Amino acid sequence: MKYNFDELIDRRNTRSYKWDQGEKLFGAADVLPLWVADMDFHCPPAVRDVLIQRAQLGVYGYAIHTDSYYDSIVKWYSRRHDWEISPGWITDSPSIVTSLSLAVELFSEPGSQVVLQSPVYYPFYDVIRTNGRVVAKNPLVIRDGRFEMDYDQLETLFQGGAKLLLLCSPHNPGGRVWEREELLRLGALCLQYGVTVVSDEIHADLTFPGHKHIPFASLSPELADRTITCLAATKTFNLPGLHTSFIVASNPAVKRKLEQRLKSLSLHMANHFAQDAVQAAYNEGEEWLDEMMAYVKGNLDFAIAYLKEQLPQVKPLVPGGTYLLWLDCRDLGLDVKGLKELMFVKAKVAFSEGSVFGTEGEGWLRINLACPRSIVEEGLKRFCQAVSGQPV
């Protein structure tokens, strides 16, 4: 390994959302945080170098988007995902959640139903509700130890008039990397009922061997025509604090509408630092990414083996991608309050509590595995000790 992912980086007192809110959110500063989805790893060195160079300029004026930036994105998706994007399909947006919210606002009617597949990343609910739309749930079903889509229930929602679907691909928190056949079946229903798809593919690059991410818009030109794909380099390369993302829409009318709305909110200008970072990551970060995912796979195998031995009543859903592990803790017999108390007070560890992803997540926890193995081990150890009533 060229990169050292075992290194412990002290992120406390760095204004970290994850490390500097222990007291405020969980009642104690020494709660070990394995919740919010950023990594406790250094980003690729090429990204750091380019940011240092930019910082040394000392003049942080208004910036423009350059062709080389778009080129790095186009080449990445061609190389890593066999998806040919035209630079003219790309629109910058400050964040994926911004794009999701704008898509709901622009491509659904006030008061209408917008479909999501629960349990799912919690801002999906927020962007529907805060835009005055109604959440239409298409709950995922667990079959053979993994989440699958319920196409019959989905068709009922489409028959009831829902015209917009928020797809999470790969899926957070379940770690499913949807297969081509599954997406094609979903796509066929969307075409049949004239449904627009907003595909959040922020986890696209985070897949384990044997799993391949299929961009929804790459399935066919007909589906691309009705798909808004929300993408970013931030999850892949641990840059979420740079707050940058982009939208791919091959339908010119769809793209124009998004661009106009971004402009009306003055969200269209380039961030002075972000483009350099994204470009360096896509052009020079590939080796880092492959090593990072191999390390995370090691963490995943470690966590599964640890739980099997120490706490077999807690059962993980084995993910095909993402650095998140979704744990079925229902056999512990605790309600939401009880699980929180077990984690935050007794174990002094903060995994994500499952009900924030929807009622289907009650009794589940999500662990962020993008950290040194010693942190994963310490978090699991604390949790197992607390379950067995030992002091931590």
Ligand X SMILES: Cc1ncc(COP(=O)(O)O)c(C=O)c1O
List the end-to-end C-alpha distance of the chain, in Å, as a whole number.
Answer: 33
With binding defined as CB under 6 A, does residue 108 bind ligand X? no
With binding defined as CB under 6 A, does residue 236 bind ligand X? no
Q: How many CB atoms lie within 10 A of CB 348?
A: 21
Residue number of the CB atom closest to ligand X: 95
Instruction: Pick from 200, 205, 353, 360 the residue near ligand X by CB under 6 A.
Output: 200
Q: Using CA atoms of 318, 322, 325, 328 in order, give the dihedral in degrees to the nearest 10.
A: -60
Nearer to ligand X, 370 or 375 (CB): 370
Binding mask 6-45 for ligand X (x = CB under 6 A): -------------------------------x--------
Instruction: Pick from 232, 239, 350, 367 the residue near ligand X by CB under 6 A.
Output: 232
Distance in angstroms (rounded) separating the CA atoms of residues 249 and 371: 34
Which of these segments, 155-163, 180-188, 232-240, 292-300, binds ligand X (CB under 6 A)? 232-240
Instruction: Pick from 101, 118, 207, 234 the residue near ligand X by CB under 6 A.
Output: 234
With binding defined as CB under 6 A, does residue 136 bind ligand X? no
The answer to whether 359 and 340 have CB atoms below 8 angstroms apart is no
Least separation in angstroms between CB 32 and ligand X = 19
With binding defined as CB under 6 A, does residue 207 bind ligand X? no
Number of residues that bind ligand X (CB under 6 A): 13
Which of these segments, 9-17, 90-98, 132-140, 312-320, binds ligand X (CB under 6 A)? 90-98
Nearer to ligand X, 113 or 117 (CB): 117
Map residue 130 onto helix, strand or coil: coil
Q: What is the DSSP string of 135-151?
A: EEE---EEETTEEE--H
Nearer to ligand X, 293 or 342 (CB): 293
Kind plus residue range of the DSSP H or E element containing 106: helix 96-107
Instruction: Pick from 196, 245, 299, 352 the residue near ligand X by CB under 6 A.
Output: 245
Least separation in angstroms between CB 287 and ligand X = 24
HSE of 324, CA atoms in CB hemisphere, 13 A: 26
For residue 257, give Cα distances in angstroms to 87, 153, 252, 350.
17, 31, 9, 40
Nearer to ligand X, 95 or 227 (CB): 95
Distance in angstroms (rounded) separating the CA atoms of residues 89 and 77: 13
With binding defined as CB under 6 A, does residue 371 bind ligand X? no
Which of these segments, 39-47, 55-63, 93-101, 309-317, binds ligand X (CB under 6 A)? 93-101
Least separation in angstroms between CB 138 and ligand X = 16
Interacting residues of 388 by C-beta distance below 8 A, sequence separation 6+: none
With binding defined as CB under 6 A, does residue 168 bind ligand X? yes
Least separation in angstroms between CB 339 and ligand X = 21
Least separation in angstroms between CB 294 and ligand X = 21
User: What backbone phi and psi angles, to 5 degrees, belong to 229?
Assistant: -100, 125
**Number of alpha helices (DSSP H) and beta strands (DSSP E) in the chain:** 13, 15
Nearer to ligand X, 116 or 202 (CB): 202
CA angle, 108 as apex, 107 and 113 as ends, to 5°? Answer: 145
Would strands 164-168 and 113-116 be described as parallel, antiparallel, or unpaired? parallel
Least separation in angstroms between CB 181 and ligand X = 22
With binding defined as CB under 6 A, does residue 97 bind ligand X? yes
Distance in angstroms (rounded) separating the CA atoms of residues 149 and 374: 35
Binding site for ligand X (CB under 6 A): 37, 95-97, 121, 168, 172, 200, 202, 232, 234, 240, 245
